[in-house]
Amino acid sequence: MNANPTFIRAPRGESRIVDRELAHLEPLILEGYLTRAQVEVARRKQQAIHDMGGRASVLEILVRDRFVPREIAETFRVDQEQTPPRTTGGTAAPVVVMQLLSLRTCEKFLVAPVKLERDTLVIQAARPLTESQRQSIIDSCAVPVKNLRVVPVDVAEARRALRRVAAEGAVLEPVLERLRLDDMSGSQLKNALSAMLTEALRLRASDIHLDARPDPDSWISYRIDSDLQQRHQLSERLMRALFMRIKTDAGMDASDNRRSQDGRLSFDFQGRGIDVRVASQPLAMGETIAMRILDPDGLPGMDSLFPADPEMIKLLRSQTEVFGKSGGLMLLSGPTGSGKTTTLYTLTQRFPRDRVNVVTVEDPVEFVLPFARQIQLNQMLDQRAADVERSILRQDPDIIIFGEIRDADSARAALKFTESGHLVLATVHAVSALQTFERFVSFFDEGSKAEALFVLAHSVRTLMNQRLMKRLCDCARKAGVADAQRIRQVLSDTGLEYRPHANLRLATGCAACEGSGYRGRVLAHEVIHIPNNEELRIELSHLLEQSNTAFFKAREMPGVLFQGRTKSVQMLLDAGVVDAISARRVLGG
């Protein structure tokens, strides 16, 4: 058998579909989002899925394997008429939220939403639609759309889709109401857990917090765009029953509420698996559970992380182009909750994992990343630090990802790996790009600090510190002349400028953002990047021989890129991504 086939035989009767899919993938390849080798791997997986009785498009496989972000993939159309979404065999499912259309609308016209393509809603329909029916569907869509594209399906397929709409359209409050009427059966509690997770995903919540306290202080809260929102008030008795259900499903001891526990559970949402990390903690007057939602589709692409900074996107993409083992260290920093892990995974999924060996060392593993070898750190707790290093090196890694540098052993290991030619990415806690360097050096004692500084001078590539800002919703209005004075006042003493010709926008509010005016978050970053220039590295090494605190002078060295947070926020403000109020908050004004 040819080890490197130039083509893969498509399933019988589907060659035209495959060819058309590949034609649609060409723009993604030309723009650098995909390689032909990655498409080839996806085609192999498509064949395997078909052999098992399922069906999935090549693009959907590439999205699920994290070779291309869904938000990028959604801008390129695949011929949905020829490959309608199916769930047979547990494979690909509709790629947009089912709540675009209400269950009542779907049942009335025997339709189901498939996806949203800019201002066009794609639906499945079991029968022809009149012009007035099409307009009714457009008018009832949960978000503004201008056009409707219909994918004909048979009645059986339409009814299967309607069942998915009904299942994923479960609303938590009615389920809780049934539980309040003393119907606390196991099935009803399971329905409540499923409805809660579904509601949290719809609301784009990153975390769910549940508090079992004496009445009337038991609440279910969601963290949405950094803010906690109390959503549902329950009786202590009902909350305790829900705690038992959550702990049981997460593999925890449901009878133990006197000590903290960790667990994990999974559930299906719109045809994809969602992991949830669960942590319980006793309180003085009860118990609390925090649930972190780990949605692979929630991982942003670099275009979303840096929407107003194409130079930063270009820089980071260049860092993920790996050719051979040249070594290097890249550190991401920020306070707790600043999205360091999300950024780390966004960068990691950019590596060509089909041709280089990416090994991650995490505690715990957050997202499952196909084609990466992910190591759970607690599986190595009984090993000495030196044994851990040897164990990882025996895996023949090209790139090593540390979830967090938290002690001298992990800091030493990171430097050992860079010395042996591996590219290392890691996170640390620090408040600025400069302090990121100082924090890393602080892990070393006086006897080993000089050696560490020498290795750092020759290996450190990029130090990036980040904060999260609230992103304006699409409903934001353009700032007018009458708003100028107020914007200037908000920006005073921040270092930011009011630029009349920029695309300044103001928060308003709509149904999509629940009247807040904000939807999602964006990075306010600062970065120091040191190129691989031998003379520059020698000069930096001499500089650090004097004192590790002299690193701040590196910003002024020729060839070194330094971009402060003020400049990053100014670009976001000028592009209309954030407003003046958010800009002032993140800069501490």
Mean pLDDT for the stretch of residues 563-571: 95
pLDDT at residue 259, as a whole number: 94
Identify the residue whose tokens are 């970065």: 527
pLDDT at residue 382, as a whole number: 56
Is the pLDDT at 69 greater than 50, yes or no?
yes
Long-range contacts for 386-394 (Cβ within 8 Å, ≥24 apart)? 388/413, 389/413, 389/416, 389/417, 392/359, 392/361, 392/417, 393/417, 393/420
pLDDT at residue 171, as a whole number: 66
Mean pLDDT for the stretch of residues 299-327: 86
Report how far residue 357's alpha carbon sits from residue 395's, in angstroms, rounded to the nearest whole number.
Answer: 9
Which residues touch 210 (CB under 8 Å, ≥6 apart)?
218, 219, 220, 221, 239, 242, 243, 246, 288, 289, 291
143 to each of 11, 72, 140, 172, how far by Cα in Å?
37, 20, 9, 22
pLDDT at residue 302, as a whole number: 87
Is the pLDDT at 280 greater than 90, yes or no?
yes
Residue 4 — pLDDT band, cuts 50, 70, 90?
very low
Q: Are 316 and 301 a contacting pair, CB within 8 Å?
A: no
- Tell me what the pLDDT averaged over the chain comes to: 84
pLDDT at residue 399, as a whole number: 94
The pLDDT tens digits for 414-460 are 999 999 889 999 999 999 999 999 999 999 998 899 999 999 999 99
Mean pLDDT for the stretch of residues 135-149: 84
Report how far residue 259's alpha carbon sits from residue 257's, in angstroms, rounded to the nearest whole number.
Answer: 6
pLDDT at residue 166, as a whole number: 61
Minimum mean pLDDT among 49-58, 164-173, 492-501: which range? 164-173
Please give the full DSSP string across 381-446, using - where no structure is assigned: TTS-HHHHHHHHHTT--SEEEES---SHHHHHHHHHHHHTT-EEEEEE--SSHHHHHHHHHTTS-H
Beta bridge partners of 121: 116, 148
pLDDT at residue 195, as a whole number: 87
Mean pLDDT for the stretch of residues 500-507: 91
Mean pLDDT for the stretch of residues 1-27: 50
Strongest mean pLDDT among 9-13, 287-291, 336-340 = 287-291
Other residues' Cβ atoms within 10 Å of the Cβ of residue 235: 14
Instruction: Name the percent of the chain lying above pLDDT 70.
Output: 87
Is the pLDDT at 336 greater than 60, yes or no?
yes
Residue 183 — pLDDT band, cuts 50, 70, 90?
low
Mean pLDDT for the stretch of residues 169-190: 77
Is the pLDDT at 374 greater than 80, yes or no?
yes
Which residues touch 405 (CB under 8 Å, ≥6 apart)?
331, 411, 414, 426, 427, 428, 440, 443
Residue type at position 586 = V
Residue 165 — pLDDT band, cuts 50, 70, 90?
low
The pLDDT tens digits for 229-250 are 899 999 999 999 999 999 999 9
